[in-house]
Amino acid sequence: MTSSVRRVGVLALQGDFREHLSVLNELGAHTVEVRVPHDLESVDALIVPGGESTTIGRLATLYGMIEPLRKHIKHGMPTLGTCAGMIFLASRVTDGDQPLIGALEASVERNAFGRQNESFEVDIPVKGLGDPVRAVFIRAPLIEEVGDGVEVLARHRGRPVFVRQANVMATSFHPELTEDRRIHQMLLDSLEAG
């Protein structure tokens, strides 16, 4: 299914932004690498990719991106954060201190599913998607607690790993690393619905 989305940005400061751009292009979206505040003015939706959450936070601060990101997301820009992107979008991190956007009312623990060599894949059911999604967990964060407005779309080992709050979705895993495009399509569909 293709989309008539005008432009979808991927925060391209660090991490696996190229993989997200490739998926979005495959789905028919026009893509933009977002690095500076001005780039946000030309996009209708945003993906914050996986990588190193502390590095993403530092670079976002350095490039003056924190407040513009908060503003655009608060004003309804559909946003998807994956792995480190989920951490960066959260309101709290339990293990350390770093810049956060605070767009997702959740408390997150970094690397909670283990180190790089403990990475794993598993099929998880996702609310509203029918067949399970293949989830790739790489040094994945764990959602410790969610606020009242956060809907849990998927769990693993009883813990939330895919959540949605208003216009923000976030996963502990990497949907861009599989052939399943449904989570990216959910972002595009949310734009169409808006």
Largest distance between two CA atoms of the chain: 42
Tell me whether residue 2 is in a domain. Answer: no
Kind plus residue range of the DSSP H or E element containing 87: helix 84-89
Active site residue 156: no
Q: How far apart are CA 165 and CA 89, in angstroms?
A: 11
pTM recorded for the entire structure: 0.92
| Domain span including residue 163 | 8-193
pLDDT at 2: 46
Catalytic residue among 83, 105, 156, 184: 83
Active site residue 20: no
Say which CATH number the domain at 128 has: 3.40.50.880
Tell me whether residue 3 is in a domain. Answer: no
For the chain (194 residues), the mean pLDDT of every run of 10, in chain order, is 68 94 95 96 95 90 96 96 94 86 91 65 94 91 90 93 96 94 94 70
Tell me whether residue 1 is in a domain. Answer: no
pLDDT at 162: 96
Tell me whether residue 187 is in a domain. Answer: yes
Quote the tokens at residue 126: 């996702």
Tell me whether residue 86 is in a domain. Answer: yes
Active site residue 174: yes
Indicate the number of domains in the chain.
1
pLDDT at 3: 43
Catalytic residue among 20, 72, 174, 184: 174
